[in-house]
Amino acid sequence: MVPLCSPDYLHRMGPMDDTTNGHRHTLIHLTGTPFGWDDYGARVGLDFRRPGNSLAFSDVALVLQAALIGQGVALGWVSGTSAALREGLLVPASPHAVHTGREYRLAAKPGPVRDEVTRVREWLVAQMQEDLAELEQRYEFLRPLSSPGPRMPQGPSSVSSPAKPR
């Protein structure tokens, strides 16, 4: 999980690098999520409980759209925002990232897995690994979050491949 904003917002407001400037930022909240700004702040040692400005949305697409158009800073999973990060549409607003422990899983019915399903699984995992490798190269602070990566199951009837969002 990384605080994200538009490049223009970062240029106007500066990074969220300590407790003195964190409160001048507009925090964009995703309501109904198990991990929010309070949790993020507790994990990185900063207080984001009551900033001067905030926006709240119940839809992650609206949260990210608000960040994209420069309305504030949103918390985003690297796995869900990698394309925008790679394209420079969103940038990290802070050098503090946390691993939430959440992961994606692909699942299939018991029994043999068709070759097409295996190829799709392998393609998805490869895309996620490629995104993460590029982002870790661009943003060094993401490197400590690295895990061994998505686990490729070893059985003919298994499709489950956890890929960890960051």
Q: For each of the chain's 166 residues, which pLDDT tens digit applies?
A: 999 999 999 999 999 876 555 678 899 999 998 889 989 988 888 877 665 688 999 999 999 999 999 999 999 998 889 999 999 999 999 988 888 887 777 787 888 988 998 999 899 989 888 988 899 898 888 876 555 443 333 333 334 444 444 5
CA dist 107 → 38, 39, 112, 114 (Å) = 32, 30, 12, 13
Q: What is the model's pTM?
A: 0.78
**Of 3.40.190.10, 1.10.4160.10, 3.40.50.2020, 3.90.1150.10, which CATH number belongs to 2-92?**
3.40.190.10
Scanning 31-114, the segments in alpha helix (DSSP H) are: 37-44, 60-68, 78-87
H-type helices in the chain, by residue range? 7-13, 19-22, 37-44, 60-68, 78-87, 115-138
Name residue, tokens 């690295």: 146
Distance CA 81, CA 84 (A): 5
**From the CA atom positions of the chain, what is the Rg in Å?**
17
Domain ranges of the chain: 2-92
Determine the 3-state secondary structure of 92 from DSSP.
Answer: strand
Position 52 scores a pLDDT of 67
